[in-house]
Amino acid sequence: MSLAVFFQFVKNKFFNLDWADHFFSMEEIIFISDLKEGIYPIGELKSEINSQITQIIQCCPNNCTLEELIATLTKISNPQQQEENQVVQPKKDQFLFRKWFKKQEQKSEDMQEQVIAPQEPTYMAQLLLLKLMSQASEKAFQTFISKVIHFMGGSGLIWQNIRKAFWPRALGFESLEAQRQIVQLTLELCEYLNAQKEKDLIQLEKDLIRQKYSKRTQDAIRRTIRGFINQSVSNCYIQGMDSISYILLEAFNYDSELSTICLNEIYKKRIVNLPSGEEQVEISDYFGQKLQEKILLYNWTLQYFDPGLTDFKCETHIVSWFSTFYAREFSLENVLKIYDYFLISDESFEILLACQIMLELKSTFEIKDSEGMLSCLKNLQNNIQLDNCLQNALRFTSQLHKTFFILTHQDEEICNQMKEENEYLQERPWEHPLTFKQLQEQLIFSISIHDFQQLLREQKQNFNVLSLDMRSAKEYEQACISGSLFAFYDKKKINNIQLLNYFELRGLVEEQSIYYVVAICDTEKQNVNEIIDYLLKQRIKRLVLLKGGIQAALLDAQDIIKFKQKAVLPPWIKVQIDELKKKNMQ
């Protein structure tokens, strides 16, 4: 189905595309001209290339199978006299790319192993796919690749060539050749490793023996990781890196240099998220911190999907999932598919995939003891429908609000450590929560729900909390998951902001106690400054703008602020509402 889907997508999106100009170099066009008898202008050659590729696309049935697609391409590439009254096409109009395929196949063959060439029509489809991925604009690439990934799978020669083209592109490489030269140089310098990197290689050898790789694979992994740790002062070996290297080598047909290049980017951009310009600090210093962030986000997200699952702690397995991208949990074919999805998605995908796996296992957990639960986690391959988990995770990455995965709370020990590392703190995407003493000095402050709860607990006197949801019903529903435990909206209730308008000259000004007014808003669609100005005109004494996505979404549960005074309206407002109801009834 894969190639059929590709052609159907091209048929719909790129019907009038100038294939010759977009995907063929002048050298290739001249080579094609050698396959024809006579001399033809370049313009005519380009026209014929466009015509034949368009013919291929037009002849593909809308929902054809891969076998039907190959049959269609074979028919085009080998014109036959199918009826007595038909005339065989002239030679110059026949399929131009036959000899060109053979030349391209020789280029793509592995230097150490002889590879059986795929069928000619299939190779034509592969060739167009590779050219589209390598030369399309960034916008076209992002639009196109997500369609193809949905149907990719396997580790054959065709998909190896495709992954060698699109994995580096997905990681943001512009010039692989320049990167290859750097890797070659670093491999030559491996004999001059410092003492710490020598220890890294000793640990690598222990891990290789434990994983029982073949000799060929062990040598390739050594070469890949040696190139990686010598590329930067900050690079070092982390356990699990051998598993990721193995997946990259399998995907790239044991191209060690390309595997090293991608390993470096995966660790820097996805696993560790090393700040730019940090070349003197080892990535291991960021590795543990990043895992703690992901586990925290995972726990928040799982609680959002199903609070019942949060009591089952499985951090040990989650660490493995996040540090190797499931390289040890599934078969090679499934792991390659998982990496396809990871590389076209942002970090939220891996959080959502872990949650989807736990949701898939929920029914199994309910009938097993703790030992049986651990057995399920160790044998994911046979206990979940991976395709369903991947598709659901990909769907939620587009459905959830962009601010859903903003992290606004950290463990207290980590926060204390961060206070001492000011430069490190400046590079992080969250702000360290202020102390209550500091907050009291401010008229307006932003804080996460977790820290707001802690702030209330620290008070010696009781405070009332008024919660104002500034979002419309539509904006509210867009920020929640359809059907989730907390995705509800009471359209009959009085809008909080209208209620505040009604009582703006009463109560809030006269009330002696300090009230925390918690404002929830969509910062992408609403002007926060206007909201703040409006609320301050009501002479509110303390205004809290809640930060974060998951935390803010969880506030939609009525009892999420667990304090003696829950998130309810002050008593004097309740009295006014009761009086208003009586008047309306009369």
pLDDT class of 578 with cuts at 50, 70, 90: low
DSSP designation for 270: I
Tokens of 84: 């007595």
Beta strand 444-447 with 542-546 is parallel
Neighbours of 163 (CB within 10 A): 24
HSE-up (13 A, CA, CB side) for residue 461: 6
pTM, two decimal places: 0.57
pLDDT over threshold 70, residue 395: yes
Q: What is the DSSP letter of 61?
A: -
pLDDT tens digits for range 305-343 = 776 776 666 667 888 899 889 998 899 989 998 998 888
CA gap 256, 190 in Å, rounded: 15
Q: What is the DSSP string of 221-263?
A: HHHHHHHHHTT-TT----TTHHHHHHHHHHHTTS-HHHHHHHH
Domain chopping of the chain, boundaries: 2-151, 176-281, 285-399, 430-585
pLDDT of residue 135: 56
pLDDT digits (tens, 9 = 90+) for 483-524: 332 223 333 333 344 334 333 333 443 443 444 555 555 555
**For the ranges 46-60, 205-219, 367-381, the one whose mean pLDDT is highest:** 205-219
- Angle value at C-alpha 400, between 397 and 406, nearest 5 degrees: 90
Q: Which pLDDT score is estimated for 502?
A: 34
Instruction: Indicate the CATH number for domain 285-399.
Output: 1.10.472.80
pLDDT above 70: percentage of residues in the chain: 35
pLDDT of residue 82: 38
- Looking at residue 220, its pLDDT comes to 93
DSSP 8-state assignment for residue 172: T
Distances (CA, A) of 368 to 294, 364, 372, 380: 27, 7, 5, 15
Higher pLDDT, 284 or 76: 284
In this predicted model, what pLDDT tens digit does every residue of 434-443 receive, in sequence order? 444 444 455 5
Mean pLDDT on 254-263: 90
Most confident listed range (43-57, 80-94, 205-219): 205-219
CA–CA gap between residue 162 and residue 152 (Å, rounded): 10
Could you tell me what percent of the chain has a pLDDT over 90? Answer: 5
pLDDT of 242 reads 93
pLDDT at 263: 92
For the ranges 228-232, 250-254, 406-410, 442-446, the lowest mean pLDDT is seen at 406-410
Q: Chain-wide mean pLDDT for the chain? A: 63
Higher-scoring residue by pLDDT: 350, 540: 350
CA distance 320 to 546: 33
Q: Are 479 and 529 in contact (CB under 8 A)?
A: no
DSSP string, 90-103: PGGGS-S-HHHHHH
Is residue 50 scored above 50 in pLDDT?
yes
**What pLDDT was estimated at residue 496?**
40
What's the confidence (pLDDT) of residue 454?
57
Q: In whole angstroms, give the CA distance from residue 53 to residue 428.
A: 49
The amino acid that residue 579 corresponds to is E
The pLDDT-based confidence of 30 (bands split at 50, 70, 90) is low
Highest mean pLDDT among 162-171, 302-311, 405-414: 162-171
| Confidence band for 463, pLDDT divided at 50, 70 and 90 | low
Q: What is the DSSP string of 416-482?
A: HHHHH-HHHHHHSSSPPPPPHHHHHT-SEEEE-HHHHHHHHHT-SS--EEEEEE-S-HHHHHHTS-T
The per-residue pLDDT for 479 is 47
